[in-house]
Amino acid sequence: MGFRFRKSFRLLPGLRLNIAKRGFSVSVGRRGLTTNFGKSGTRTTIGLPGSGISYSTYKPYSSGARPTGTNGGYRTLGTAVIIIVLTLAAIAFAALVK
């Protein structure tokens, strides 16, 4: 039996940072509809909260085999994180201006 590690931190309402033994990911959404940006692809999950019924799709970042040693997934995840942070900064700035 292998050991597992997973920890999730709520950064803002609807935005979570997930840390696991093999890396980290960012989740955006709320109960019923969540998109997770991980190192190798994006997973979107739609469900009925409280029922245990859900549908999930997975889209890898690249369709071809990636040579060992490249970090394309991390580069894409980094881009997603930067976009999210810039969006949140714009929202915070707009709230301060009001």
Number of folded domains that form the chain: 1
Whether 69 is covered by a domain: the verdict is yes
Whether 19 is covered by a domain: the verdict is yes
The H or E element containing residue 53 is strand 53-60
CA dihedral (37, 27, 8, 32) positive or negative: negative
Whether 50 is covered by a domain: the verdict is yes
Whether 1 is covered by a domain: the verdict is no
Whether 64 is covered by a domain: the verdict is yes
For 20, the domain range is 6-97
pTM score, whole prediction? 0.57
Give the whole-angstrom CA distance, residue 37 versus residue 9: 15
Whether 10 is covered by a domain: the verdict is yes
Run means of pLDDT, 10 residues per run, the chain, 98 residues: 84 88 87 88 89 90 60 60 72 73
pLDDT of residue 58: 92
